[in-house]
Structure 1
Amino acid sequence: MVELQKKARGQRPSYFEDPAVDKLMAITLALTGEVAVLRDRIDTIERLSAEGKSISPEAVDAYEPDEKVREIRNALRDTYLDVVLRIVHQEREELEHQLANQPYDDVVTTVSTN
């Protein structure tokens, strides 16, 4: 088994003015990743069950999804991430809309001060 580093090296990147928002976003994304893994494992259990195979932790860990299953899971994951990150996408789209309607020099000033 590969031993992964538990902590990132260097300073944590900051994306928001309030560090608490960065922490909350990191927590949210970590939980989102865990839920995505759980969804894949549940899908594996359902597929093994539908095939009449035994369900055990070893069987779930050993399951290798084929290309079609990977595509289905990827599409579900993309939709799931869109839902979780909807507010972030909406704010980005609003900013893009605002910037698209400003003269170039104003856009440069807005981006450089944020």
Structure 2
Amino acid sequence: MSYASSGQKKEEKVWIPKGKPSPFHDGPRNDQLFAMVMALTVEVAILRDRLDTHERVSEEKGGFSGKDIEEYNTDNESLGYRSELRKRIYHKVFRVLREEAALMESNSKEEYDDFMESYEKD
């Protein structure tokens, strides 16, 4: 950074940034951030809908208490299921970063497309 000189004291001068702007402020990083936030927003909305359904069914059928939730012990099947759900969420949220990394590492657009097609099958 430097400051504009107009006869003012150094403390009173306006600082003018020099050099390249931070990549976070403009360009593809904003697109990536936006895509990640949107993916998270979709996941949170789905989660909230499911939670609402859970609460309504519980209320209608005389469900359970908060204490029941706190004392619930998760079995191995549930842990595995939750682990897969987390992986799916992470996969969706960080997809844009994986795509960029794959494109940067590939030698051609065709190689990138082949990689992304095989990745989507996993």
Q: Which of these two proteins has the greater Rg computed from alpha carbons?
A: 2
Tell me the TM-score normalized by structure 2. Answer: 0.40
- Greater RCO (CA < 8 Å, at least 6 residues apart): 2
